[in-house]
A = this chain, B = another copy of it.
Amino acid sequence: MSLNKLLSPNDHPDLAEERRRATFNTDEMSAIIWENKQNWLRRREISKIVAEHPELHDPCSQAYMTRAEEVENAARKATTMIRKLGELGISPFEGEDIFHLTNEVIGIRGHPLAIHAVMFIPSLQAHCSDEQMHFLEMAMSMQIIGTYAQTELGHGTNLQKLETTATYDAKTQEFVLHSPTTTSMKWWPGNLGLSANYAIVVAILMIDGKNYGPHHFVAQLRDLKTHMPLKGVTVGDIGPKMAYDSSDNGFLRLDHYRIPRLNMLMKHSRVAPDGTYTRPPHAKMSYSAMVHVRSHMVRHQAMFSAYAMTTAIRYSAIRRQGEITPGAGEVKILDYQTQQYRLLPQLARTFAFLFTGQAVKNIYMRVQKDMAKGKVDEMAELHYVTSGLKATVTHLSGEIIEQSRMSCGGHGYSKATNFSEIYGVAIAGCTYEGENMVMLQQLARYLMRAAQAATTGHSLSSLTDYLVKPCEKHSLIDKHPDKTYSHHISAFEWAARRQIIKAYERLVSLKNQGLSNEEAWNQNAVELNRASRLHTRLYIAQKFYDKVQTIVDGPCRAVLEDLLHLHLNYELIDMAYYLLEDNYLTGQQLNHLKEDMYRLLQKLRPNAVSLVDAWDYSDHELRSVLGRRDGHVYENLYKWAQASELNRTQVPPSFEKYLKPMMEEARKMSKL
């Protein structure tokens, strides 16, 4: 009886062979990956329901649709799905069920209600005062479709400089929303282009000529019956993007557009009828939403990575190319050390990101509760942690996905694999929700405060305790580490501490040379980013380690220990620079780390397929011909290709119009 529970009689023999080699029960691992058995079984149930309902399927591969077709198809599926939620007992706006259902039915390319669910409703929840709950009710019951319009053509991160204004007119008790310039147009919000009829517009509040900074306003954009843009509203789609083809990201220009006073969201700041402004009690309350989104991003990036890894590792087990021993027959490409090195450390990272994402989600939930009791400090701290995580994880996920794609050779380049969409969607995370360089600088601000505290022997919080811990050099050369990996973690701490302190000292030194605080900061920005990345990589390593300690199932724990061990070695080699610099590590120790890594590649290889199988993605959700569970790749690639729009006729129109005249002319000439 195979420990890999996905093994099935119709499997490609090469995949079946891999599955029979599993040393752990994949069902147990699935429960770990999806946090518990209940979640995992619920996922299965949802996948099964989707499989049984053809009205939730695509009529053809999404790769074959035009954007207009995609947008319409996504609207069809999203509304059909919403209608079934009651019957399925799924809440439309929160939890894992709707997330998984959406991935199954819609995929990752976007749909017309996406921003309504992930931005519009949460923002209303966060900012509606008691007398404004009707907005939330209309949104939750799907009477309106909303979006969140913040970014402008000319402005992203720096909200203070947004150009859209909301000028209070006390006479009529209205706000006048206005886009004074081309660059002030709202630009990028998802579903703003065609689908939304409402938006939360972030605009600079102006009262009696005074600038009160950015605030949230609810604006109706389109007529509820005809869907035509209202007077004063210019709105449309911003055109195709690197990915997310079925999302109608939009632009919005407002021309002296009036909304009632009570359309400003007033839970925190208020404008009285006479124009009197009241400040919010806690400026830091606004962290919470960002932290929420970024903590989810870490898990989502792990899932994107796992999509890519599933395809790459399964395909590497059925693709045969070249012989290692001449005459012995072509081997699976997964047998090449280069292929193992390309994939297995990235698989380890995928698990590291997953477990880190789970951990920060749990911390967020705890801290959120504390905040309700008035404790806001930990949320501020989590803001810094998730800023660093967001930047580090999105960047590395891009690497995971592209390495996965390229490891599939030419076929990885085909849209039949879904790789380019996964990459496009994942890598967008480097830019949205705070551009990565800005995110790293955010964390660096915290780290510099921690470094300053450390100069007097103090720690700002448990997050940066390692800055003041007595540090000693440990040997990393044990062939059989003690399973606590404490020396590995110490090495991460050493690297992070050293870079943080160096960056701090350089900052002080630049200021001592006469630079202003801001100039010194800017001229130190690259070193600060390095510090943030190292701190974050330590954090991830620690969370991976912590999670593995909680695993009860022996065989699962054993293989996760191997993955953890590989992760720690790979990351330390990748950051060896910081460890060699001051001889924390010797060249010989580094060699041992490498030899250990090569050994781990061989050790993990037999479990590689089972480790991706355990994510338990259905073929439907994966949308990848190369990643099919059964491994029957080639015949299905052929089947997929035959559906290409270019194969609808045997002879393309370009032949009669252009190619034939050219060739006939040439033949005539040759006869002259």
A587 at the A/B interface (Cβ < 8 Å)? yes
Residues of B within 8 A of A635 (CB): 182
A296 within 8 A of B: no
- Given contacts A158-B322, A182-B635, A654 and B75 within 8 Å (CB-CB): yes
B420 & A242 in contact (Cβ 8 Å cutoff) = yes
Closest to A581 in B: B587
Flag whether A663 is at the interface (Cβ < 8 A).
yes
Number of copies: 2
A241 to B413, CA, bound (A): 6
Of the listed stretches A97-105, A365-373, A514-522, name the one at the interface; the rest are far from the partner chain.
A514-522
Known: A145-B663, A526-B341. A238 touches B577 (CB 8 A): no
Q: Within 8 Å of chain B (Cβ to Cβ): is A172?
A: no
The residues of B that contact A153 with a CB separation of less than 8 Å are 634, 637-638
Contacts of A112 in B (CB 8 A): 654, 659
Q: Is there an interface contact between A655 and B227, defined as CB atoms closer than 8 Å?
A: yes
A76 within 8 A of B: yes
Q: Does A82 contact B (CB under 8 A)?
A: yes
The segment out of A64-72, A298-306, A543-551 that lies at the interface is A64-72
In the complex, A431→B419 CA distance in Å?
15
Give A342 to B228 CA distance when docked, in angstroms: 44
Contact of A338 among B529, B582, B641, B658 (CB under 8 A): B529
Q: Are B143 and A525 in contact (CB under 8 A)?
A: no
7 contacts between A and B (CB under 8 A): A143-B667, A225-B660, A228-B651, A238-B644, A324-B518, A341-B525, A420-B424
Interface residues of A (CB under 8 A from B): 63-64, 66-68, 71-72, 75-76, 78-79, 82-83, 112, 137-138, 141-145, 151, 153-158, 161, 182-183, 185, 187-188, 193-195, 197, 224-229, 236-242, 248, 251, 320-326, 330, 335-339, 341-342, 398, 402, 406, 409-410, 412-416, 419-420, 424, 427-428, 430-432, 435-437, 441, 516, 518-519, 522-527, 529, 576-577, 580-583, 587, 590, 594, 598, 634-635, 637-638, 640-647, 650-655, 657-663, 666-667, 669-670
Q: Please pick, from B151, B188, B413, B669, the residue contacting A141 in the complex, using a CB distance under 8 A.
A: B669
Contact yes or no, B236 A641, CB < 8 A: yes
Q: When the two chains form the complex, which single residue of B240, B406, B436, B669 contacts A415, counting CB atoms closer than 8 Å?
A: B240
Q: Are B321 and A157 in touch, CB under 8 angstroms?
A: yes
Q: Known: A194-B652, A587-B582. Contact between A644 and B240, CB under 8 A? A: yes
Residues of B with C-beta under 8 A to A151: 410
Q: Main SS of the interface on chain A?
A: helix
In the complex, the chain B residue whose C-beta lies closest to that of A524 is B337
When the two chains form their complex, are residues B634 and A518 in contact, meaning their CB atoms are under 8 A apart? no
Contacts of A251 in B (CB 8 A): 638, 641
Give the residues in chain B near A410, CB-CB below 8 Å. Answer: 151, 156, 187-188, 431-432
CB pair A183 B634 closer than 8 Å: yes
The answer to whether residues A519 and B325 also contact, given A650-B229, A663-B145 and a CB cut-off of 8 A, is yes
B424 near A647: Cβ-Cβ < 8 Å: no
Indicate if the CB atoms of A431 and B415 lie closer than 8 Å. no
Of all chain B residues, the one with the shortest Cβ separation from A154 is: B634
Interchain CB contact (< 8 A) of A239 among B63, B323, B659: B63
Contact A237 B644 (CB under 8 A): yes
A428 contacts B409, CB within 8 Å?
A: no
Which residues of chain B are near A670, meaning CB under 8 Å? 137-138, 141, 143
CA distance A339 to B529 in the complex (A): 12
B227 touching A75, Cβ below 8 Å: no
Given contacts A156-B409, A654-B75, A654-B195, contact A242 B419 (CB under 8 A): yes
Q: Check if B641 sits within 8 Å of A144, measured CB to CB.
A: no
Task: Output the least CB separation between A116 and chain B (Å).
Answer: 11
CA–CA, A197 to B525, complex, Å? 58
Do B321 and A415 touch across chains, with their CB atoms under 8 A apart?
Answer: no
Whether B67 pairs with A645 at a CB distance below 8 angstroms is yes
Q: A406-B431, A413-B241 are in contact. Are A324 and B248 (CB under 8 A)?
A: no
Tell me which residues across on chain B come within 8 A of A156, comparing CB atoms: 321, 409-410
In the complex, are the beta carbons of B647 and A236 less than 8 A apart? yes
Chain B residue contacts of A518, Cβ below 8 A: 324-326
- B187, B413, B640: the one contacting A428 at CB < 8 Å is B413
**Is B161 a contact partner of A338 (Cβ separation < 8 A)?**
no
Q: A63-B240, A183-B634, A580-B577 are in contact. Are A646 and B71 (CB under 8 A)?
A: yes
Q: Which residues of B contact A660 (CB under 8 A)?
A: 225, 227
Which 10 pairs between the two chains have the least Cβ-Cβ distance? A75-B654, A580-B580, A237-B646, A581-B587, A242-B420, A239-B644, A75-B658, A337-B525, A79-B658, A194-B652
Chain B minimum-CB-distance residue to A318: B154
- List B contacts of A336 (CB < 8 A): 437, 522, 525
Given contacts A330-B158, A518-B325, contact A645 B413 (CB under 8 A): no
Q: Which residues of B contact A594 (CB under 8 A)?
A: 527
Shortest beta-carbon distance from A574 to chain B in Å: 9
User: Measured between C-beta atoms, what is the minimum distance from A248 to chain B in Å?
Assistant: 6
* Interface residue from B76, B330, B435 paired with A654 (Cβ < 8 Å): B76
Contact between chains at A659 and B145 (CB < 8 Å): yes
